[in-house]
Amino acid sequence: MARFNFQGEPPTEEKEDVCSLTLAQNVIAGRWKIIILWYLSRRTRRFNELQRLLPGISKGILTRQLRELEEDGMVHREVYKQVPPKVEYSLTQQGKSFIPVLNTMGEWGKKYMEIKQNE
């Protein structure tokens, strides 16, 4: 059954899509977040490990991106009370549910790279 929209008013379904995409956009906004999520999708990582994996990132900004991902419920932070300190970062259930997005995005990126190289 066709759906009519007077004056091009957007249907509710579209609004929902826009809303959820905006939400996703907010969560992954940040220069390093997608890559951080991807590294954590492979295994748990320590702070220093992440810093080594992310070339050129400073401790301050890495801390902030991780804190924001934590606030958004994507990342779990496990502190081991010992000296020297040890902190491990991993994906929460919600963070893990984001992995399909990373995969789709990665596949797209690969094709995109090939095309760019053949230009």
Partner DNA sequence: CGGGATCCCAAACGATACTG
Partner DNA sequence: CAGTATCGTTTGGGATCCCG
For binding to a second copy (CB under 8 A), which residues are involved?
Answer: 10, 14, 16-25, 27, 29, 31, 34-35, 38-39, 42, 53, 73, 94, 97-98, 100-102, 104-113, 115
58 binds DNA (CB under 7 A): yes
- How many residues touch DNA under the rule CB under 7 A: the total is 26
Which residue carries 């301050």 as its tokens? 60
Q: Which stretch binds DNA (CB under 7 A): 14-22, 28-36, 96-104, 106-114?
A: 28-36
Q: Which residues bind DNA (CB under 7 A)?
A: 29-32, 46-49, 56-61, 63-67, 77, 79, 84-88
